[in-house]
């Protein structure tokens, strides 16, 4: 027996170490106890992934931009972003061969649909693609890719240890929590993010694994990156209660900016999808390149700009740009900041649209910081407004815009407090986050993440009835045992069809299988036992129109609404061209509903 054969037997044989270890674990360790150990491993792995990603991005950025002259425009900004999204796009298209964009949306869909399997390549593909994208200037954040990576790590570790489906779903949430905690060094924010953004229900079963993963990931990040907050912030100006009205105004502005970002990004993504890949790449690459050349702070994540503004050195944001000569002019600074605010959403959207990989975590923090700073900086130009602390309001803006874009006020509060160490500003952080959230909620019921799923009817919420309806699969509920009739057939043919079936309804279709009506047993009961009429009546005369038709792509909440409106118990299902597919029974929907509801409740309280 050669070495390769022995190795294969060792790895795949029934008596190998891996197999024996799993059997020993199943026999001696309860799954709920073993889950705590796996959640600890997930925390270590997600933190390591976050550290690797950040180091890769910073290494590429420092090599490419460290030598640039700060007092003049740099034409390399025209090249780097194009190269970044090109390399990332080629990596995804020809190596990964799968869609890895919108990482948080993918995790949200996996959790909401109770689908625990996230592909193995997601444990590394987002790391490579996002490091190329962001390191070379893509105007997006690394957090969404690392959230998808963390969720994939949780899913695949659970599958490696052959844990049951319900446990795998919890590990997906643990991976997302560990990713946020590891990349931001913010364990509380990681936990809150999973509950508030990913909508994972918090129960006694789930709270401990989530906490273990978050704390472990943050601890590993502390060990390798130090214990200082990600954005070192020293509050030199105390917050005054008299500034609360201005905090409320800032919160409203954050909500309006969040609405602008959400709507523009969603609209642009829809437009870009209509173009073939090569045309879309050219449009996005040229747009991104030009924007970064004109406004260099759009390069990469933008965290350097946040640090500059939190330290009160706003003039440095104009380094390496055409605006450098105006850095000591207040009007020039405000105009520069306004241009960045308006164009950041375009830069982020074309980065992903052109083939790059990244999320809106960093852009939301970035835009919030600039909005808060600009709001406070503008107070120096208005006599009746007291001077506002630029550092404090820059920090508040970060919480406000993140809360608005993500529809997550608690995540905004805790994340900014942990990112900056600005715990003394907890009250204004809560005020600006809540006011921003309420402002955007008045116009847009869904976050940037849930909007994409809501449009497809694939969004599960904390509303139990709607959640269970979302989990129902319309195609699996279709009953196809009904015998179809043609309009030219006779009553005798109908009677013979009745004798062969137990159904009391018979769909009538044309030669192209398009539904044109239905024959109900109750409507022909008075003539079906009169043989002399069998050849006299045609199906076209005894059929009736259906009260409604269910489109195969219809969302389940609309299906139930259609049943309620028509008071029917059975309705035909058709495709987009009106071709008959089968019947949908309200009783079968109710039975499936009860089964999923029982399974959902047993998952939460087990």
Which structure tokens are listed for 38? 């796996």
Distance CA 182, CA 300 (A): 20
For the chain, how are helix, strand and coil distributed in percent, rounded to 5?
A: 65, 5, 30
Are 3-225 and 241-456 the same fold in CATH? yes
Secondary structure letter of residue 538 according to DSSP = B
Which of 241-245, 246-250, 438-442, 555-559 is predicted least confidently?
Answer: 555-559
Backbone phi and psi for residue 473, each to the nearest 5 degrees, phi listed first: -105, 110
Q: Could you tell me which residues come within 8 angstroms of residue 531 by beta carbon, excluding any fewer than 6 positions away?
A: 492
Q: For 421, left (φ over 0), alpha (ψ -120 to 50), or beta?
A: left
Segment 87-92 shows an average pLDDT of 92
pLDDT at 606: 45
pLDDT exceeds cutoff 60 at 461: no
Sorted by sequence, the CB contacts under 8 Å of residue 402 that are 6+ apart come out as 361, 364, 365, 368, 408, 411, 412, 415, 416
pTM over cut 0.85: no
pLDDT band with cut points at 50, 70 and 90 for residue 472: low
pLDDT in tens, 286-336: 999 999 998 888 998 888 889 888 887 777 777 777 777 777 777 888 888
Q: What mean pLDDT value characterizes the chain?
A: 84
Q: Can you give the residue ranges of every domain in the chain?
A: 3-225, 241-456, 467-605
Q: Which residues of 492-528 are buried (b: 16+ CB within 10 A; e: fewer)?
A: ebbbebbeeeebebbbbbeeeeebbbbbbeeebeebb
379: number of Cβ within 10 Å: 17
Give tens-digit pLDDT for 355-389. 899 989 899 999 999 999 999 988 877 777 788 88
Q: Is the pLDDT of residue 150 over 60?
A: yes
Per-residue pLDDT, averaged over 392-402, amounts to: 94
Per-residue pLDDT, 6:
56
CATH of domain 467-605: 3.10.580.10
- For residue 406 the two structure tokens come to 């993500």
Please state, in angstroms and rounded to a whole number, the distance separating the CA atoms of residues 521 and 498: 8
| Cα 325 from Cα 332, distance rounded (Å) | 9
pLDDT attached to residue 401: 96
Mean pLDDT value of segment 228-257: 86
Quick one: 3-225 is in which CATH superfamily?
Clc chloride channel (1.10.3080.10)
Instruction: With cut-offs at 50, 70 and 90, classify the pLDDT of residue 587.
Output: confident
463 — pLDDT class (breaks 50, 70, 90): very low
Task: List pLDDT tens digits, range 28-87.
Answer: 778 788 889 999 999 999 999 999 999 999 998 888 877 776 666 678 888 999 999 999
Q: Please give the CATH topology (third level) of the domain spanning 241-456.
A: Clc chloride channel (1.10.3080)
Residue 512 in this model has a pLDDT that exceeds 80: yes
Q: Are 138 and 145 in contact (CB under 8 A)?
A: no
Q: What angle do CA 200, 201, 207 make, to 5 degrees?
A: 95
């Amino acid at each position: 027996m050669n070495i390769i054969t022995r190795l294969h037997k060792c790895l795949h044989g029934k008596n190998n170490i891996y197999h024996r270890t799993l059997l020993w674990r199943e026999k001696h360790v309860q799954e709920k106890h073993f889950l705590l150990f796996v959640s600890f491993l997930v925390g270590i792995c997600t933190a390591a992934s976050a550290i690797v990603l950040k180091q890769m991005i910073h290494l590429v950025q420092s090599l490419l931009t460290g030598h640039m002259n700060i007092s003049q425009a740099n034409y390399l900004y025209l090249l780097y972003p194009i190269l970044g999204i090109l390399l990332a796009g080629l990596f995804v298209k020809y190596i990964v061969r799968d869609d890895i964009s919108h990482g948080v949306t993918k995790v949200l869909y996996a959790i909401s649909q109770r689908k625990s399997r996230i592909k193995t390549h997601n444990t590394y593909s987002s790391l490579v693609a996002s490091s190329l994208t962001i390191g070379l200037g893509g105007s997006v954040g690394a957090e969404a890719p690392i959230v998808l990576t963390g969720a994939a790590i949780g899913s695949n570790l659970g599958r490696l240890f052959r844990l049951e489906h319900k446990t795998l779903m919890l590990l997906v949430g643990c991976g997302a929590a560990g990713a946020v905690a590891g990349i931001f060094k913010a364990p509380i924010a990681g936990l809150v993010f999973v509950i508030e953004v990913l909508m994972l229900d918090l129960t006694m079963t789930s709270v401990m694994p989530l906490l273990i993963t978050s704390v472990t990931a943050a601890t590993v990040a502390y060990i390798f990156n130090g214990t200082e907050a990600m954005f070192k912030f020293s509050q030199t100006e105390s917050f005054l209660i008299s500034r609360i009205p201005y905090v409320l105004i800032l919160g409203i502005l954050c909500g309006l900016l969040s609405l602008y970002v959400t709507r523009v990004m969603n609209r642009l993504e829809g437009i870009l999808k209509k173009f073939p890949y090569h045309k879309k790449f050219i449009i996005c690459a040229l747009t991104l390149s030009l924007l970064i050349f004109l406004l260099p702070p759009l390069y990469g994540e933008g965290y350097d700009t946040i640090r500059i503004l939190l330290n009160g050195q706003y003039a440095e944001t104009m380094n390496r740009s055409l605006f450098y000569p105006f850095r000591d002019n207040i009007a020039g600074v405000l105009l520069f900041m306004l241009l960045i605010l308006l164009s950041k959403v375009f830069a982020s959207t074309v980065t992903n649209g052109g083939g790059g990989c990244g999320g809106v975590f960093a852009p939301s923090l970035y835009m919030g910081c600039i909005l808060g700073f600009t709001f406070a900086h503008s107070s120096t130009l208005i006599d009746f407004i007291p001077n506002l602390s630029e550092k404090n309001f820059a920090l508040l803006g970060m919480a406000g815009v993140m809360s608005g874009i993500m529809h997550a006020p608690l995540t905004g509060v805790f994340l900014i407090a942990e990112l900056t160490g600005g715990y003394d500003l907890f009250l204004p952080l809560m005020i600006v986050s809540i006011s921003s959230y309420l402002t955007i909620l008045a116009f847009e019921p869904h976050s940037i993440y849930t909007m994409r799923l809501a449009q497809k009817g694939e969004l599960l919420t904390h509303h139990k009835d709607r959640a269970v309806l979302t989990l129902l699969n319309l195609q699996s509920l279709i009953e196809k045992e009904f015998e179809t009739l043609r309009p030219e057939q006779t009553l005798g043919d109908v009677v013979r069809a009745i004798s062969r079936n137990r159904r009391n309804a018979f769909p009538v279709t044309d030669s192209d299988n398009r539904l044109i009506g239905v024959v109900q047993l109750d409507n022909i009961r008075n003539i079906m036992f009169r043989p002399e009429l069998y050849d006299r009546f045609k199906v076209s005369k005894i059929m009736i129109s259906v009260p409604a038709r269910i489109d195969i792509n219809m969302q389940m909440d609309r299906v139930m609404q259609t049943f309620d409106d028509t008071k029917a118990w059975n309705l035909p299902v058709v495709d987009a061209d009106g071709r008959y597919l089968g019947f949908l029974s309200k009783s079968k929907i109710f039975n499936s509903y009860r089964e999923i509801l029982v399974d959902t409740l047993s998952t939460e309280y087990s």
